[in-house]
Structure 1
């Protein structure tokens, strides 16, 4: 049995902190009316040029990614990170196009960089592992290649 050379708890804390943050972000998207971060997100999305219901879609993606981030599997963390990279790319673009405050632009851009780094850190060794998860699970349990 191989021993780990470095502790994993700092990375686990990072995943849980990001998941909590995206869970909070999802809650603000689902909340009808003003939130502690400002006006109703439905109104914000309309002001940005999107339909109001798009806030629910973004909140659902954030919620799903928050759940996937806390599952201690490399595949689920990669999928969450990759999805958040796509979502945050849209957020950065929206913030820049709509001339949002510099603090908002920096915060969204920092999240994009962190999620891109996590996606790269959890990059699958083989894309087939994403498409056929049962084979990857069998290899992880030591059963060799499953049919």
Structure 2
């Protein structure tokens, strides 16, 4: 039994680390000025062709999904990872089309791959369980 504890704890730590990165993403999207990642996200979103207020929607989705990733139930982890997977598909496309900086063109697909892993790991055996209270 102790042999199974460490992989589960490592996976839990990985969920927390990934959730922390998305919480930081949420905070920086709401931050009004420049961030430690570069210019303000209001400027970045405008450069990418989106309205500057769209950053609040993206940041909110990131924040809610980060919380879902660390909740103990598999269905919450699945919903959070699936929503982030959709968001990161759009982010990856945006960074490729807009020819963003290299770090953004690498970070978005890397996070997308992590979310695909999380979705597959938490795939529901019965789709009805996602809707049960």
Q: Same fold (TM over 0.5)?
A: yes
TM-score norm. by structure 1 comes to 0.85
Matches within 5 A, 1:73-88: 73-88=73-88
Aligned residue pairs, count: 131
Q: Report the counterpart of residue 15 of structure 2 in structure 1.
A: 15
CA distance in 1, matches of 2:78, 2:43: 32
Q: Deviations over 1:37-92 (max 9, x none)?
A: 01110111011110111000000000001111110110000000000000000000
C-alpha distance in 2, partners of 1:83/1:4? Answer: 33
Q: Tell me, which stretches of 5 or more residues in structure 2 are unaligned?
A: none
TM-score by length of 2: 0.94
Aligned to 2:4, what secondary structure does the other structure show? coil
Counting only pairs closer than 5 Å after superposition, residues 93-112 of structure 1 correspond to structure 2 as 93-112=93-112
Greater fraction helix = 2
Rg bigger for which structure? 1
Q: Of the two structures, which has the highest relative contact order with CA contacts closer than 8 Å and spacing of 6 or more?
A: 2
- 2:11 is equivalent to residue 6 of structure 1: no
Q: Which residue of 2 aligns with 1:62?
A: 62
Distance in structure 1 (CA, Å) of the matches to 2:3 and 2:125 = 21
